[in-house]
Amino acid sequence: AQTVTQSQPEMSVQEAETVTLSCTYDTSESNYYLFWYKQPPSRQMILVIRQEAYKQQNATENRFSVNFQKAAKSFSLKISDSQLGDTAMYFCAFMNPGGKLIFGQGTELSVKP
């Protein structure tokens, strides 16, 4: 069975600084997708970034980028130039071939002014 682990329940960062959120996963699949979702206080689930396992190049979306290490089954999220609006719960997720999303426990990020 696939599992996703986020080992940092809480993190904080100063505005304009850079922060990295960690995620590891376990699977026997060779092809899959990985995601980072953001859940602000409104509770809406917002897709931040997506990585296809067959692509070696790390995905980037503006201030958000990932460090995907397939052999190590690691998928960290880097947020550059942190903004107050980045304060949220962040979930790492694995998508299996059937399309089911498996989520980690989440990391609560606080961006401080």
Partner 1 sequence: DSGVTQTPKHLITATGQRVTLRCSPRSGDLSVYWYQQSLDQGLQFLIQYYNGEERAKGNILERFSAQQFPDLHSELNLSSLELGDSALYFCASSARSSSYNEQFFGPGTRLTVL
Binding site for partner 1 (CB under 8 A): 32-33, 42-47, 50, 52, 91, 95-106
Take residue 72 and report the two structure tokens written for it: 């190590």
Cβ 90 to partner 1, closest distance in Å? 12
CB 49 within 8 A of CB 64: yes
25 or 91: whose CB is closer to partner 1?
91
Taking CB atoms within 8 Å and a gap of at least 24, the contacts of 44-48 are 45/91, 48/77, 48/90
Rounded-to-integer distance, Cα 95 and Cα 31, Å:
10
Cβ 76 to partner 1, closest distance in Å? 19
64 or 80: whose CB is closer to partner 1?
64
Cβ 2 to partner 1, closest distance in Å? 11
